[in-house]
Amino acid sequence: MESVQNATEVFDQVYLDIRAGLLVLAASLDRVDRSEGAEVIGDDLRRERIQQGLEILSGPGLNRAEQIQVLFSDPYRSGWNTADANETSDSPGDDA
Amino acid sequence: MYFFDPHVHMISRVTDDYERMARMGCVGVSEPAFWAGFDRGSVDGFRDYFRQLTEFEPTRAGWSGVQHYAWLCINAKEAENVELSREVIAMIPEFLDKPGVLGIGEIGLNKNTPNECTIFREHVELAMRTNELILIHTPHLDDKYKGTRMIIDMLLEDDRVDPGRVLIDHVEEHTVGLAREEGFWCAMTLYPVTKCTPSRAADIIEMYGDERIMVNSAGDWGPSNPTAVPDFIMELRRRGHSESKIKKIVYDNPIEFFSGSERFEFTPPDVFRENAPTGVDAG
Ligand SMILES: [Zn+2]
């Protein structure tokens, strides 16, 4: 079930949404930065992730949404449920 | 267009919501057991809840001509209480011969803890022993990717599990591929805040196809929209997709999956309308 519209049709449809989305991002970041104590947010890991998310947006690719999802995901350790995994871990499947 | 909402917590909604859904074309809903907003204190609390899901909700849905189905379990949040969870799992078979019960769900993980894993596996064991379908809740936000992978790992531990009889719910861009690679059914939840939008769900359909996938509103007592499936239908129409392709996702696919339960008795709309019951006063 691929897209039945061409890129121009799709872009015409989403252009204003993208523009509005960028404004929400810009205004939200401005609001953080003009608030008292804005400098501590620079050390907040969540702010760093948002910066990485913005880099994903400006990069190439057909799966930017998936990349953003992975960026905001807890790490997973494969084999967590096998006999050699640490069964006593408080957080099974953690990458730590 | 007729549609099914395969995951909606109607117990939290008013009768007018059934009416509005029906007016938009809803002919059937399936309602998984979930968290009530507080932890229940005893197995009897769950017994009463299951009675409501299997007795009164089908009646209430019927007033609007909607066919109602249910799934039973103790949800992942309350699974932290392992003792109570085991009592509930032992009680579930009392309800497994009730009409309209489709299987065990929504089981899964919430914070990906060891207790949640223990109770998840015990629910799967029950489903295998009783040959029931399974409906799975995956965590939201940062926990989702890891939780979905852990759930799939646990399902693959048990070679009795047939992926064609398991629906993994709340999939998004980073988890839809995981579920489909292993042959599971999956569903996308359209939620006004924090979850998938109709537009992103449509994107996922365009990228991953329309096999073994469905959409739901997961309407509940939080901010949610029980008419989200029609929003998704409109989004696909705006994009120029054919009515038959849309119908496959919102009607044919849920029916195909639910047909794996021998208690899924569904009267298609044309026949159903003629026999529609009249409303009853709540008093
Ligand atoms: Zn739910």
Q: Where are the domains of chain B?
A: 3-263
* pLDDT tens digits, one per residue of B137-161: 999 999 999 999 999 999 999 999 9
Q: How far is the CA of B37 from the centre of ligand 1 (A)?
A: 12
Output the CA B18–ligand 1 centroid distance in Å. 17
Does B247 contact A at CB distance below 8 Å? no
Q: What residues pack around ion ligand 1 (CB closer than 5 A)?
A: B 34, 218
CA B107, CA B105: separation in Å to the nearest integer?
5
Does the pTM exceed 0.90? yes
CA R_g for chain B? 18
CA–CA dist B123, B190 (Å, integer) = 26
CA–CA separation, B100 and B98 (whole Å): 6
Strands (E), B184-282: 185-189, 213-216
Quick check: B3 and B213 in contact, CB under 8 A? no
DSSP 3-state of B260? coil
Q: B13-40 pLDDT, tens per residue?
A: 999 999 999 999 999 999 999 999 999 9
Per-residue pLDDT of chain B (283 residues; tens, 9 = 90+): 999 999 999 999 999 999 999 999 999 999 999 999 999 999 999 999 999 999 999 999 999 999 999 999 999 999 999 999 999 999 999 999 999 999 999 999 999 999 999 999 999 999 999 999 999 999 999 999 999 999 999 999 999 999 999 999 999 999 999 999 999 999 999 987 767 899 999 999 999 999 999 999 999 999 899 999 999 999 999 999 999 999 999 999 999 999 999 999 999 988 665 566 555 565 5
Domain B3-263 has CATH 3.20.20.140: yes
**Distance from chain centroid for Cα A70:** 7
Instruction: Tell which phi-psi region holds residue B7, choosing left (phi > 0), alpha (psi between -120 and 50) or beta.
Output: beta
The residue with tokens 């909607």 is: B66
Q: Tokens 């880099």 label which residue?
A: A55
Are B146 and A4 a contacting pair at CB < 8 A? no
